[in-house]
């Protein structure tokens, strides 16, 4: 029997389940809309039954060793999802105990960015690294921090919420209810907000003036920046400046050897990497200069969330 781990990525829209080998290959995958179950019990039953279906489809020669789950506001310490803003079920949700009861295998949970950081460590370009930071730049900004070879989980299991640290007192309103959070400036939606601010401040001609706020995307801004649109270029410059300064703080606190950037915004390549590195370097303490690389994730074209969720279990098992 071949050993396998189920990696589950619970997103606001879809829940994806994959069967992942020790080498980090996802051999089968399925997904369903997260919010279609009216109660949480029906949802967890569905995860369990779909995982079993996937295993049965492999003709019975797989031995399920455990289930790893990445979810918004998922606590590694308690195995619960607590007050997740983008899920329909509110309050404290006992996720791990429920899956363990159904499938009778160890089940571990963490938030999606922490899971992706573990995926980078086990299956990506952070193999062998003991100190690194993983940053996801999607609709929001998530992060996972690995210190001395271990994912930092913290006292209640929610460590690494870099996206909701402050970069501007009384700044932009965030979905979390606070103001001035990093992700309101550095994320796909933050970039869009920056574009509209820049448009309002200048008379610079720009193709971006033809778009409504809802129609614009990070991809459109990146494409126009490549064509020389000054507003688009400045939007990336401002975004990189804010991210670079924050990363310099992170380097001062954690002294990592690498910072991985992952997700939609990181696909803009040098448009985001170059200003980020320049502003980080400018803000680094001299003792940290030339000690840290800002690089793309090695999982960029793979399902990092599912691989990372499975890595939660694989890293606990002897080789």
Is 176 among the residues that bind Zn ion (CB under 5 A)? Answer: yes
User: 78-113 burial, b for 16+ CB within 10 Å, e for fewer?
Assistant: bbbbbebeebebeeebbbbebbbebbebbbbbbbbb
Q: Is 73 helix (H, G, I), strand (E, B) or coil?
A: coil
The reply to whether 312 sits near Zn ion by the rule CB under 5 A is no
179 near Zn ion (CB under 5 A): no
> Which of 67, 110, 132, 164 touches Zn ion (CB under 5 A)?
164
Rounded to a whole number of angstroms, the minimum distance from the CB of residue 265 to Zn ion is: 17
Minimum CB distance to Zn ion, residue 186 (Å): 12
Q: Which stretch binds Zn ion (CB under 5 A): 35-43, 154-162, 168-176, 206-214?
A: 168-176
- In terms of CB distance, is 141 or 232 closer to Zn ion? 141
CA distance 167 to 187: 13
Question: Between 15 and 114, whose beta carbon lies closer to Zn ion?
Answer: 114
Only one residue has tokens 């129609």, namely: 215
Coil, strand or helix: which one is 294? Answer: strand
Instruction: Say whether residue 141 binds Zn ion (CB under 5 A).
Output: no
Burial of 6 (C-beta count, 10 Å sphere; 0-12/13-18/19+): buried
CA angle at residue 213 from 14 to 177, to 5 degrees?
65
Least distance from Zn ion to the Cβ atom of residue 85, Å: 10
Task: Please tell me whether residue 86 binds Zn ion under the rule CB under 5 A.
Answer: no
Question: Within a 10 A sphere around the Cβ of 279, how many other Cβ atoms?
Answer: 21
> Among residues 16, 118, 159, 181, which is the contact residue for Zn ion, using CB under 5 A?
181
174 binds Zn ion (CB under 5 A): yes
Residues binding Zn ion (CB under 5 A):
164, 174, 176, 178, 181
């Amino acid at each position: 029997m071949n050993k396998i781990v189920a990696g589950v990525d619970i997103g606001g829209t879809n829940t994806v389940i994959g069967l992942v080998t020790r080498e980090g290959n996802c051999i089968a995958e399925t997904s369903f809309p997260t919010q279609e179950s009216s109660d949480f019990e029906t949802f967890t039953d569905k995860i369990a039954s779909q995982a079993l279906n996937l295993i049965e489809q492999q003709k019975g020669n797989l031995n399920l060793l455990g289930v790893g789950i990445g979810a918004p506001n998922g606590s590694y310490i308690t195995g619960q999802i607590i007050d997740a803003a983008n899920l329909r079920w509110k309050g404290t949700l006992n996720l791990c105990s429920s899956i363990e009861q159904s499938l009778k295998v160890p089940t571990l949970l963490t938030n999606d960015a922490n899971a992706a950081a573990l995926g980078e460590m086990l299956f990506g370009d952070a193999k062998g690294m003991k100190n690194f930071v993983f940053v996801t730049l999607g609709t929001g900004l998530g992060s996972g921090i690995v210190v001395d070879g271990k994912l930092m989980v913290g006292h209640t299991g929610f460590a690494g919420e870099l996206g909701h640290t402050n970069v501007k007192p009384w700044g932009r309103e965030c979905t979390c209810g606070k103001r001035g959070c990093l992700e309101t400036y550095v994320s796909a939606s933050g970039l869009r907000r920056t574009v509209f601010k820049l448009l309002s401040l200048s008379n610079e001609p720009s193709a971006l003036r033809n778009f409504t706020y809802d129609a614009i995307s990070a991809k459109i801004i990146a494409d126009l920046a490549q064509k020389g649109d000054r507003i688009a270029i400045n939007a990336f410059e401002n975004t990189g400046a804010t991210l670079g300064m924050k990363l310099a703080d992170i380097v001062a606190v954690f002294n990592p050897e690498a910072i991985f950037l992952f997700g939609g915004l990181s696909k803009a390549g040098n448009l985001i990497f170059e200003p980020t590195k320049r502003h980080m370097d400018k803000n680094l303490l001299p003792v940290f200069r030339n000690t840290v690389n800002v690089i793309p994730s090695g999982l960029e074209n793979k399902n990092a969330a599912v691989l990372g969720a499975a890595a939660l279990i694989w890293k606990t098992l002897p080789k």
